[in-house]
Amino acid sequence: MTAMRALQGLEDGRASVRLRAALAVGTTPDPRFVGTLVERCAVEPEFFVRDMLTWALTRHPVSVTLPELLRELRSERAQARSQALHTLSKIGDRRAWPAITRELLCDADDEVARSAWRAAVALVPEGGEHGLAAVLATQLGRGGRETQLSLSRALVALGDVIVPVLGAVAADPDRLVRAHALATERLLREPDIGFGFAIEEAKRAVALGGSGHEGR
């Protein structure tokens, strides 16, 4: 597939064609195609095609992809922000860190926020973990099971620095927030326990009137 045909293929109505097109562009990277790849990420409906688009972008020079992706973080389209964050986390260049703002970490769209949490954990510079944990803790109790799991994973990835941050949430008036914090700390201590079990145990503990931190 020639480069021009590949670019045209990204607009095809068939997901299989778009997938092959993204693969072709990534196999023979050309900086001239970065803008098109980024634009397609913002509108591509199929997850597996978006993932291939991200892979194709990682095959291009960071000096070209980084400015394009950072611009997308200011897009009004949630998918554009989410996919740009996902791609930045895969590229792993810490020059993107200043662009991972509190606004993105607390984005009203769950998918954007989840992508921001993953990107932040991947890009946070040494010494910035506590500050990041403090912002992430403001999102405890948010959303459904998958969103809560994503947040717990992001916090746990920061390590022991989250323990005092989670402890400060023990007195939060919202039971769901307290339970989420307790489940996250449990996952830090026992990573094999599973989030489903941890959150249900935490909810029971909170319902019985405890914070889960008594006696510690």
Q: Same domain, yes or no, for 91 and 136? A: no
Q: Return the ∠ at Cα 198 (arms to 192 and 201), rounded to 5°.
A: 140
Residues 72 and 172 in one domain: no
Query: How far, rounded to the nearest angstrom, does the alpha carbon of residue 22 sit from its chain's CA centroid?
Result: 22
Contacts of 168 (CB under 8 A, 6+ apart): 137
Query: Does a structural domain hold residue 62?
Result: yes
**Whether residues 113 and 164 fall in one domain:** no
**C-alpha span between 210 and 202 (Å, rounded):** 9
- The two three-digit tokens of residue 124, written as one number: 């946070």
Q: pTM for the whole thing?
A: 0.90
Closest CA to 188 of 216, 161, 215: 161
Amino acid at 58: T
Give the structural domain span for 141: 130-211
**Is residue 216 a part of any domain in this protein?**
no
Both 2 and 106 in a single domain?
Answer: yes
Q: What was the pLDDT predicted at 4?
A: 73
What average pLDDT score do residues 156-178 get? 92
Rounded to whole angstroms, the Cα distance separating 81 from 119 reads: 12
- Per residue in 179-190, pLDDT (tens digit) is 999 999 999 999
Higher pLDDT among residues 149 and 196, named by residue: 149
So what's the pLDDT on residue 215?
A: 40
Of residues 163, 179, 171, the one with CA closest to residue 216: 163
Q: What mean pLDDT, rounded, does the chain reach?
A: 92
Whole-number percent of the chain with pLDDT over 90: 79
Q: Both 7 and 107 in a single domain?
A: yes
For residues 6 and 109, membership in a common domain is answered with yes
In this structure, the dihedral spanned by the alpha carbons of residues 168, 150, 43 and 87, taken in order and rounded to 10 degrees, is 90
| CA 144 remoteness from chain centre | 15
What is the Cα–Cα distance from 184 to 17, expressed in whole angstroms?
A: 41
Residue 200 — very low, low, confident or very high, per pLDDT cuts 50/70/90? confident
Task: Place 1 in a pLDDT band, splitting at 50, 70 and 90.
Answer: low
- pLDDT band, very low/low/confident/very high, at 205 (cuts 50, 70, 90): confident
Give the tens place of pLDDT for each residue, 29-40. Answer: 999 999 999 999
Rounded average pLDDT over 6-29: 91
CA distances 41 to 35, 69, 135, 166, 211, Å, are 10, 10, 27, 35, 43
Structure tokens at 80: 């554009």
